[in-house]
Structure 1
Amino acid sequence: MLQVSIKRGREKRIRGFHPWVYKNDILSFSRKPKPGELCVVRDYKGAFLAKGYINPDSYIAIRILTYKKDEEIDLEFFKKRIREAFEYRKSLIPEDTTAFRLVHSEGDYLPGLIVDSYDGYLVIQVTTLGMEVLKPFVVKALVEEVKPKGIYEKSTVPTRQLEGLPLVEQTLYGDIPERVVIKENGIKFNVQIIGGQKTGYFLDQRENKLLFAREFVKEGDRVLDAFCHLGGFGIHAAVIGKAGEVVAVDSSQLALDLAKENAELNGVGDRFKFVKGDAFKVLKEMQLSGEKFDSIVIDPPAFAKSKTVVEQAKRGYKELFLRGLKMLKPGGRIVVCSCSHHITPPILEEILLSAAYDTRTPLRVLYTTYQSKDHPFVLQIPESRYLKCIFAKSFEWQV
């Protein structure tokens, strides 16, 4: 197996269980590396540190799989890791939910691998060259340990191209339906596996949707669900919170069509108004026309995909938050979210504070939340805490 030595001082981070070795950490190779192959990581004196896979052309050159010297990276390794991940999910997913993230990359020490389960159908996403090489082990381990109805690969993320990999969609096992009906917190959703966004549905807001519906929506409320996708927050608000009207905004007609189906599937279609368009323009038009809401959720896609666009992203978030706060009734409740890992919790708070100052809206923050528990983040990788949500309430006496 390829032996890789890293520079003096860099071993501290690896011994602290940070699972990445950067390109500029590397001191030497025992031979010329083959992209995607397994390797042993050693300190500058030759002492064992970890095993992982390597892509010498990537900024993150090595992703670590194990810190155990005698642990082999084979089918049994993947069966063990997937079994552990599955047992963990079974311990935390409620009985009224049939969709969850089964494997969350570094969060389950399987870097480069995402696996989502939709009522027994698995959708996998492979994002790195090393995991692509190991994919046969992954598929076989999933079949043997999880016993799914089918496995569909949806490896269409742009990061694959940075790893020298093509974008791929294909059935890997069993028969895959174009759509499947799942339950989330007891609510039914049509999920488009083939042709939908991401792996089909955004599973990382499950607990936040329930919190919003239970504590931030009152019976009869008028609710705004901006960037609604398949209607997750809005339908929770209507079914659990008993909202009187939900205005759902999204730029995708496919998403809105599915959201409408989902509202009708749960018997609340008559309480929805669906608006297609760019949320920036739609919210501006709504605000200028005097629209008012009791509860608002603003959950946009990632604006800051790199550090270079953080300032531009901050301006975008602030504009949305300004529009939302101007439409919020006194005493109203608002949830703002960011799934950009470059927008840290303090930055998100700073943006909301600036919007609150400009709109003269007194806010008290009741909760700051993150992604669902089946999307665990690694303490050693701050970037893995990508989703942040602020749940805030305005005061009745605002002027």
Structure 2
Amino acid sequence: MLQVSIKPGREKRIRGFHPWVYKNDILSFSRRPKPGELCIVRDHRGSFLAKGYINPDSYIAIRILTFKKDEEIDYQFFVKRIEEALSYRKELVPENCTAFRLIHSEADYLPGLIADYYDGYLVIQVTTLGMEILKETVVRALVEVVKPKGIYEKSTVQTRELEGLPLIEQPLYGDVPERVVILENGIKFNVQIVGGQKTGYFLDQRENKLLFAKEFVKEGDRVLDAFCHLGGFGIHAAVIGKAKEVVALDSSQLALDLAKENAQLNGVADRFTFVKGDAFKVLKKMSQEGEKFDSIVIDPPAFAKSKTVVQQAKRGYKEFFLRGLKMLKPGGRIVVCSCSHHITPPMLEEILISAAYDTRTPLRVLYTTYQAKDHPFVLQIPESRYLKCIFARRFEWEV
């Protein structure tokens, strides 16, 4: 197996269970590496550190699979990892949920692999060359452990192109329907597997949606669900929070069509107004027209996909938060989110503080939350904490 030595001082991060070796960490190779092959990582003195796979053309050159010297990276290795992941999810996913994230890449020490479970079906994403080479073995292990009705691959993320891989969407095992109905917190959602966004649904907000509906929505509220996708927050607000009216905004007509179906599926469609459009323009127009809401959730896509665009992303988030705060009634509740790990929790707070200052909106912060527990945040992998949400309430008085 290829042996890779890393520079003095770079081993501390690896010994601390961080799963990445960067290109500039590498001191030498035992031979010329083959992209995607397995390798052993050693410190500059030759002591064993970890095993993983390598792509010498990538900025993240090695992604670690195990820190155990005697653990082989074979079929049984993947069976064991998947069994561990499934056992963890069985402990924490409630019975009224029939969809969850089974494999969360580095956070399950299976870098380059995402696997979501949708009521008997698996949808996977493979994002790296090393995992692409191991994919057939991984699929066999998933079939043995999970025993799904079918497995569908949606490897359509742009990071594949950085690894020199094409974008792929295809069935891998069994028969997978285009759509499947799942339960999330006891609420029905029609999920578009084939042709939909991501793996079909955003499962990482499950606990935040329930918290929003239970504590931030009151019976009779008027609610704004900005970037609604399939209507997750809004439908929770209507079904559990008993909101009187929900305005659901998204730029995707496919998402809005499914959101409307989901509202009908749960018997709350008569309380919804669906708005298609660019959120910057729509929210600005709504705030200028004096629209007011009791409860607001603003959950935009990841603006900061790299460090180079963080400042630009912060301006975008602030514009959305400004518009939301201008439409928030006295005593109203607002949730603001960022799903980019480059936007840290302190950054998100700073953006909200700046927007509150500019709109003269006094806020109490009730909760700061992260992604659902089936999308684990590993302490030694700060990059795994990507979703942040601030739950705040406006004071009753106006200035």
Q: What's the secondary structure of 2:35's corresponding residue?
A: coil
1:23 maps to amino acid = K
Alignment-derived partner of residue 335 in structure 1: 335
- In 2, distance between residues paired with 1:283 and 1:17? 43
- In 1, distance between residues paired with 2:320 and 2:35? 43
1:336 maps to amino acid = V
Output aligned runs, 1:190-269, within 5 Å.
Answer: 190-269=190-269
Alignment-derived partner of residue 283 in structure 2: 283
1:314 maps to amino acid = K
Q: What is the RMSD of the two structures over their aligned residues, measured on CA atoms?
A: 0.6
The TM-score with structure 1 as length reference comes to 0.99
- In 2, distance between residues paired with 1:325 and 1:313? 18
Question: Any idea what the Cα deviations from partners look like across 1:100-145, whole Å, max 9, x if unmatched?
Answer: 0000001100000000000010000000000011111110000000
The TM-score with structure 2 as length reference comes to 0.99
- In 2, distance between residues paired with 1:208 and 1:363? 19
2:136 maps to amino acid = P
Alignment-derived partner of residue 176 in structure 2: 176
* Greater displacement, 277-286 / 240-249: 277-286
- In 2, distance between residues paired with 1:267 and 1:172? 35
Question: Any idea what the Cα deviations from partners look like across 1:274-319, whole Å, max 9, x if unmatched?
Answer: 0010111111111111110000000000111111111111111111
Q: What's the secondary structure of 2:53's corresponding residue?
A: strand
- In 2, distance between residues paired with 1:353 and 1:13? 34
- In 2, distance between residues paired with 1:76 and 1:327? 55
Post-superposition offset of 1:21: 0.6
- In 1, distance between residues paired with 2:77 and 2:309? 39
Question: Any idea what the Cα deviations from partners look like across 1:221-260, whole Å, max 9, x if unmatched?
Answer: 0000000000000000000000000000001000000000
Question: Any idea what the Cα deviations from partners look like across 1:156-186, whole Å, max 9, x if unmatched?
Answer: 0000010011111111000010000000000
2:387 maps to amino acid = L
1:201 maps to amino acid = Y
- In 2, distance between residues paired with 1:276 and 1:7? 52
Runs of 4+ in 1 over 2 A off after TM superposition: none
Alignment-derived partner of residue 142 in structure 2: 142
Post-superposition offset of 1:33: 0.5
Alignment-derived partner of residue 356 in structure 1: 356
1:20 maps to amino acid = W
What count of residue pairs does the alignment treat as equivalent? 399
Alignment-derived partner of residue 112 in structure 1: 112
2:18 maps to amino acid = H
Output aligned runs, 1:27-106, within 5 Å.
Answer: 27-106=27-106
* Greater displacement, 373-382 / 173-182: 373-382
Q: What's the secondary structure of 1:322's corresponding residue?
A: helix
Post-superposition offset of 1:378: 2.0
- In 2, distance between residues paired with 1:325 and 1:393? 10
Alignment-derived partner of residue 389 in structure 1: 389
What 5-or-longer segments of structure 1 have no aligned partner?
none
Output aligned runs, 1:294-305, within 5 Å.
Answer: 294-305=294-305
Q: What's the secondary structure of 1:134's corresponding residue?
A: helix
- In 2, distance between residues paired with 1:125 and 1:119? 18
- In 2, distance between residues paired with 1:45 and 1:147? 45
Alignment-derived partner of residue 3 in structure 2: 3
Post-superposition offset of 1:397: 1.1
* Greater displacement, 226-235 / 43-52: 43-52
Output aligned runs, 1:4-19, within 5 Å.
Answer: 4-19=4-19
Post-superposition offset of 1:398: 2.5
Given that residues 107 and 381 in structure 2 are in contact (C-alpha distance below 8 angstroms), is that contact kept between their aligned partners in structure 1?
no
Given that residues 153 and 171 in structure 2 are in contact (C-alpha distance below 8 angstroms), is that contact kept between their aligned partners in structure 1?
yes
Post-superposition offset of 1:12: 1.2
What 5-or-longer segments of structure 2 have no aligned partner?
none
- In 2, distance between residues paired with 1:338 and 1:287? 21
- The answer to whether structure 1 residue 132 and structure 2 residue 132 are counterparts is yes
- In 2, distance between residues paired with 1:222 and 1:206? 21
Question: Any idea what the Cα deviations from partners look like across 1:22-65, whole Å, max 9, x if unmatched?
Answer: 11111111111100000011111111111000001111100110
